[in-house]
Structure 1
Amino acid sequence: MPLVAIVLAALAVGFEQVLQWRFGTMGIIAFVALTVGIKARNGLLSGIGAVVLVLLLAQPG
C-alpha cells in the first residue's frame, strides 16, 4: 500500500509540473479547483476547474 501511495503522489506532482510548465499559474489553479471540487463533492467548483482546463487545452499553439 505505501508503494502505491508513493507512485500516485509522484504522478500527481509530475502532472502538476507539466501543467505549470505548459499552462502556467492558471493551469495549476484550474487543476486545484477541479480536485478540491471533486473531493468536497462541490459541483460548481469542480465544473469551473474543468471548464478552465478545457479552455486552456483548446487554445491554439
Structure 2
Amino acid sequence: MPLFALALAAVIVGFEQLIEWHFGVVGVIGLCLLTIGVKARNVTCSCVGAVVLTMLLV
C-alpha cells in the first residue's frame, strides 16, 4: 500500500509539473480550483476551474 501511495503521488506531481510547464501558473490555479471543487462537491469552484482551463486551451 505505501508503494502504491508513493507511485500515485509521483504521478500527481508529474502531471502538475506538466500542466505548469505547458499552461503556466494560471493552469495550476485552474487545476487546483477544479480539484478542490470536485473533492468538496462545490459546483462554483469546479466550474471556475473548468472555465480557467478551457480558456487556456482556447
Do both proteins adopt the same fold according to a TM-score greater than 0.5, normalized to the shorter chain? yes
- Structure 1: segments with no counterpart, 5+ residues: none
TM-score (norm 2): 0.89
Superposed, 1:4-43 pairs within 5 Å as: 4-43=4-43
Q: Which has the higher helix share?
A: 2
User: Following TM superposition, where does structure 1 have runs of at least 4 consecutive aligned residues deviating by more than 4 angstroms?
Assistant: none
Q: Which amino acid aligns with 2:29?
A: I
Please report the RMSD computed on the Cα atoms of aligned residues, expressed in angstroms.
1.0
Q: Percent identity between the aligned chains?
A: 55
Number of corresponding residues: 58
Query: How does the TM-score come out when normalised to structure 1?
Result: 0.85
